[in-house]
Structure 1
Amino acid sequence: MLDRLHQALRRREVFVPRSERFGDPRAELLRGEAWAEARDSVARALDRSIDPAVELARLQQQLHAAYTEVSANLARNTALQLLQIDGQPSITLTPLAAQQELASLTRLREQLAEKLPPVELAALLLEVEAFTGFASAFTHVADGQTAATDLPLSICAVLLAQACNIGLKTVARADVPALTLPRLSWVQQNYLRAETLTAANARLVDGQAQLPLAQAWGGGEVASADGMRFVVPVRTIYAGWNSKYFASQRGVTYYNFTSNQFSGIHGIVIPGTLRDSLFILAGLLEQQTSLDPREIMADTHGFSEVVFGLFSLLGFRFSPRLADLPDQRFWRLHKEDDYGPLNELSRHVINARLISEHWDDMLRLAGSLKLGKVKATAVMRTLQRAGSLSGLGRAVAELGRVEKTLYLLAYVHDEAYWRRILVQLNRGEGRHALARAVFHGKKGELRQRYREGMEDQLGALGLVVNALVLWNTRYLQQALQEWPATEAALLPDDVARLSPLLHEHVNMLGRYDFTLPESIAAGQLRPLRNPENWQERFVPVE
């Protein structure tokens, strides 16, 4: 009986009252008079009709236009091939060729990297704090005040110790009151927590968004989601097994979201390597920055038909990188539709009746998610497993099949769309490489035993990486403004392909010196490095 009960809990067939992980998400949905009053406003906010016939007609029109466009361009689309494998229609795409880099871009990158001034990571944090004031977002857990003397200095030291994984003793200074070990321990316990890290991170994201160079990379309307794996060698129930990522040990995944301006907008700690699609929607709905990404890129692990359906309901566009394109099904709304050479490929028919019958519940679910009445993770756990919220899950999946088909048709037809997905995912992977360089202490292993400690430390890591990205962007922008008139003109395409994910000029090792010249603290920039002076090519280490 206990074994069956355990299985039913995991399949979301039995729920536990007042449980966050095993509770019934249906209990939190809008219902009754509350839903009747909110229905029209929710439909307007989502740009949806309350009439399912109107929505099905819109989907039919979109599918017809997409199939027609792909069919008309089959002869010119040399990368796309329609095949028959074991009597079944299939589709393949020739991999994209590497994007060529002009000599002007290579030279621009090299010269800009040589101009970045050498800096200690500790001083970098203090400089970014002087520029953004992010330390004022850290308030005391009891009274919500920031009245402690020299609090920004202590905050920066604690953040560096957490992000570099080196411990407070390494950054403590007995001769500086704000850097003594008891003071740093007190600040860490009373000021560093999820809500203050989130508020401080939002200030860094806002600072990045205001820079013209960051705007040349994107407007913040696009983001990517991917996970970093960390081995956890200590005994804890919050780590999981996965031999591919953690060998014989256990670990966690830090699932984070990177905007197209290279800033990290949110992060979620996941025990082990649970399926990414459980958390991808939660990251978009829970992030608290000024950016409003409407399109999200992810790897195959973030993909499911339910994800496509919920993204569509909420007005987001889901653009994953699929590793198994030949195995994907293409769908149509009406069996009698004629799509010419794509007829065999699109032989699977959507259950439109199921969507129509559950349309009001689908809007109610989307409205509840949008208004924060129910947690996205709980809904995803239920919809993607055996539990179906009384058929609602199957209806959302049917809608997701339509949206997935529209995505697939765009993916195989538009090379620029495909490349844009890869570019954004590469930005996220580059950010992970920078985070690995920062998180160098204790062999890069996470040694927190409790979930809150993991979230605080990895949140500090994300904050420090954002500070480094913001600092690099400011100085790259300054170097571009001082670009010699004798050099070739700057090409907009070259500028758009620059990256602030650099760290060779930043010293993260040795003595951590938390001092800042008055001019830099007042907002002035450091002088750029002269590449012709070999003594300026090296970061001083004391």
Structure 2
Amino acid sequence: MTGNGDDFLKGDLITAVAWDSPGKVIGAGAAKVSVRHSPSSSIEQVKEEFHQAREDLEETLANASPNNVGAVRLDEAGRLVIPPLSAEKIPAVAKELREELSGMLPFVPIASLLIELEARTKFLDCFIHAGGRKSKLSMEQKRNILAVLIAGTTNLGLTRMSAACGVSYDTLAWTQEWYVREETLREANTVLVNHHYKLELAKKFGGGTMSSSDGQRFPVRGKSLTARDMNIHGGRVLPTYTHVSDQWSTYGTKQIVPTTREGHYTLDELLGNATDLPIHEHATDTHGATLVNFGLFDLVGKVLTPRMRDLGRITMLRLDTPAATNALYPHAGPLLADRWNEDLICECYPDLLRMGGSLKFGDATASLIVGKWSAASRQNTLAAALKEWGRMRRTIHVTARYLSDPVYRRKISRQLNKGESLHTLRRDLHYAQQGTIVRPHLQDQTEQAWCLTILTNAVITWTTEYYGMAIKELRGQGREVPDELLSFIAPGHRENINFFGFIEVDIEAELAKLDDGWRPLRPTLVNESGTTFLINP
């Protein structure tokens, strides 16, 4: 090991790596390291990326007009000016299409939605008895599991749910104890995400290659081991940290202590992603833009693309002396203040690879590694090397694309907005007891968070399916529905779903209402002027 890294990375945490020839790794850890370049070739590769990034920034600043207040530019004092992005303009025809499609969706109670979706996905098969019995679930068992899921999601609790659905409290409590746990909830959510990923319309929302993460804080009532008082949020709160794909599906959920930095948990669910989503690029708000995260994302083969604030305070790197850099890049050069410590990277690069291998293959959790290295002292050589690698990746991200490409900045903002918009859907689902969390223990809170994630994905999936049916019907009527408008159709629509009142979980009766497994769309009528009206809205 290098430097003071021995104290933290020891035992079975890190797998040994030995170098044979450039680009080839031998020894016990060869199968566990995803990045197989030698230190020299990896450093040359990142330097090439940096040179291209520097040229892109120079071109952007050189071509910027001082009169163009909306462009990234230098002011008269040579300071970097980064204007905020204007609100994205949604075409009027896209808004009209979204309203029309929403009007065609059938009205449905939440329990009926779940029953219908279960018939197509069989996600309830993931709920296996804790004793290991894998017998086929009966209709009554499916009914009971759905009731428990709704109870956890809506925050009704089992007592109120028993009164709402007519199933005894003892039956619901037994079902929750033996069938509904984090393991089965994760598997059921994976089934829903994979089903949604295969839908044709979901591919219009995004390719499934990008995701974002953000925390949503819920108020807490009573005692809790994980909640904390935070004046900024008006009392005791507990954050749920969720990972959302560019297709609107939520593939990761984690309960965290509110006083802990959210950026420590950015990689956890990303590396633990068991769905079919080929996530490669991940966006966060400024909370995730730490040097340790930039470094670790690159070491595990992912790309961190955060939305950056206060860029004027960020120190960017250079490879040459200030004079040489400014001579080559008169506009961008003065912004590159610090020289990259290439020698430190060469010395510690094998250890950095071992760290990446440990994370990628589960020998250590990302939140543990990020927390430890973020708090490490400057005397820790390996921590310093990781942060130096992160500084280079951050410089490339900022100079190459974030400052140089406004379209790329808008892509990041659009993805973050998807995750934030789902906060409203989750709050609507989590309506009972004024949306407060009353369960005191982390395990119970985690299970409730996964219940909420499953029903959120169920609403997204069901709505995407029926949007697809509505689009097909409009096209069958001879209407032109361009694919480029479909990316503006958000599947978080919930006005046609009833979360309240008596919750009847009658699987056989609900399935009997379906026509070949589907509900009929609400009919529309087009007059001579081309205006579409709902019939019996």
TM-score, normalized by length of structure 1?
A: 0.88
Cα deviation per residue 1:193-220 (whole Å; 9 max; x = unaligned)? 1110100000000110110000111121
Change (3 A) 1:257 1:388: farther
Change (3 A) 1:291 1:174: closer
Residue identity in the other structure for 2:335 = L
Q: Which moved further from structure 2: 272-281 or 331-340? A: 331-340
Q: Which residue of structure 2 aligns with residue 250 of structure 1?
A: 236
The whole-number CA distance in structure 2 between the counterparts of 1:58 and 1:33 is 21
Displacement after TM superposition at 1:173 (Å): 6.3
Change (3 A) 1:59 1:420: same
Displacement after TM superposition at 1:182 (Å): 1.4
Verify the 8 A CA contact 1:138 1:146 in the aligned structure 2.
Answer: no
Does the alignment pair 1:528 with 2:521?
Answer: yes
* Correspondences of 1:157-306 after superposition (within 5 Å): 157-172=147-162, 179-245=167-233, 247=234, 249-306=235-292
Q: Which residue of structure 1 aligns with residue 21 of structure 2?
A: none
Displacement after TM superposition at 1:130 (Å): 1.1
**Correspondent of 1:54 among 22, 29, 41:** 41
Verify the 8 A CA contact 2:147 2:165 in the aligned structure 1.
Answer: no
Verify the 8 A CA contact 2:153 2:451 in the aligned structure 1.
Answer: yes
* Correspondences of 1:353-502 after superposition (within 5 Å): 353-386=343-376, 390-409=380-399, 410-483=401-474, 488-502=479-493
Cα deviation per residue 1:402-446 (whole Å; 9 max; x = unaligned)? 110111111011111001001101100111111111000000111
Residue identity in the other structure for 1:415 = P
Change (3 A) 1:518 1:235: closer
**Correspondent of 2:127 among 131, 138, 142:** 138
Cα deviation per residue 1:9-57 (whole Å; 9 max; x = unaligned)? xxx9999xxxxxxxx55434224589952444445x33x41x2122121
DSSP-derived class of the 1:514 partner: coil
Q: Which residue of structure 2 aligns with residue 345 of structure 1?
A: 335
DSSP-derived class of the 1:365 partner: helix
DSSP-derived class of the 2:267 partner: helix
The whole-number CA distance in structure 1 between the counterparts of 2:154 and 2:333 is 56
The whole-number CA distance in structure 1 between the counterparts of 2:81 and 2:513 is 55
**Correspondent of 2:13 among 4, 9, 29:** 29
TM-score, normalized by length of structure 2?
A: 0.89
The whole-number CA distance in structure 1 between the counterparts of 2:13 and 2:341 is 25
The whole-number CA distance in structure 1 between the counterparts of 2:339 and 2:276 is 41
Verify the 8 A CA contact 2:14 2:354 in the aligned structure 1.
Answer: yes
Structure 1 gap ranges (5+): 1-11, 16-23, 538-542
Does the alignment pair 1:71 with 2:63?
Answer: no
DSSP-derived class of the 2:297 partner: helix
Verify the 8 A CA contact 1:25 1:378 in the aligned structure 2.
Answer: no
The whole-number CA distance in structure 1 between the counterparts of 2:254 and 2:296 is 19
Change (3 A) 1:534 1:474: closer
Q: How many residues align?
A: 508
Verify the 8 A CA contact 2:524 2:535 in the aligned structure 1.
Answer: no
Change (3 A) 1:461 1:14: farther
Q: Which moved further from structure 2: 525-534 or 498-507? A: 525-534
The whole-number CA distance in structure 2 between the counterparts of 1:97 and 1:29 is 46
The whole-number CA distance in structure 1 between the counterparts of 2:130 and 2:208 is 32
Change (3 A) 1:76 1:482: farther
The whole-number CA distance in structure 2 between the counterparts of 1:415 and 1:354 is 34
DSSP-derived class of the 1:482 partner: helix
Displacement after TM superposition at 1:143 (Å): 2.2
Verify the 8 A CA contact 1:13 1:387 in the aligned structure 2.
Answer: no
Verify the 8 A CA contact 2:32 2:358 in the aligned structure 1.
Answer: no
Cα deviation per residue 1:467-498 (whole Å; 9 max; x = unaligned)? 01000000000000000566651122211211
Residue identity in the other structure for 2:72 = L
Residue identity in the other structure for 2:127 = F
Residue identity in the other structure for 2:232 = K
The whole-number CA distance in structure 1 between the counterparts of 2:513 and 2:196 is 18
Verify the 8 A CA contact 1:130 1:523 in the aligned structure 2.
Answer: no
Change (3 A) 1:287 1:33: closer
Residue identity in the other structure for 1:394 = A
The whole-number CA distance in structure 2 between the counterparts of 1:280 and 1:436 is 22
The whole-number CA distance in structure 1 between the counterparts of 2:535 and 2:157 is 32
Residue identity in the other structure for 2:283 = M
Cα deviation per residue 1:72-113 (whole Å; 9 max; x = unaligned)? 23344441122476xxx5322122222222221111011001
Verify the 8 A CA contact 2:17 2:350 in the aligned structure 1.
Answer: no
The whole-number CA distance in structure 2 between the counterparts of 1:91 and 1:407 is 16
Give percent identity, aligned residues only: 30
Verify the 8 A CA contact 1:139 1:191 in the aligned structure 2.
Answer: yes
Q: Which moved further from structure 2: 207-216 or 57-66? A: 57-66
Cα deviation per residue 1:265-298 (whole Å; 9 max; x = unaligned)? 0011001242111100112112221212111011
**Correspondent of 2:88 among 69, 80, 99:** 99
Change (3 A) 1:323 1:155: same
DSSP-derived class of the 1:100 partner: coil
Verify the 8 A CA contact 2:15 2:32 in the aligned structure 1.
Answer: no
Q: Which residue of structure 1 aligns with residue 530 of structure 2?
A: none
Displacement after TM superposition at 1:121 (Å): 0.4
Residue identity in the other structure for 2:445 = M
Displacement after TM superposition at 1:148 (Å): 5.1
Does the alignment pair 1:82 with 2:78?
Answer: no
Structure 2 gap ranges (5+): 19-24, 526-532
Change (3 A) 1:471 1:520: farther
Verify the 8 A CA contact 1:253 1:273 in the aligned structure 2.
Answer: no
The whole-number CA distance in structure 1 between the counterparts of 2:194 and 2:410 is 27
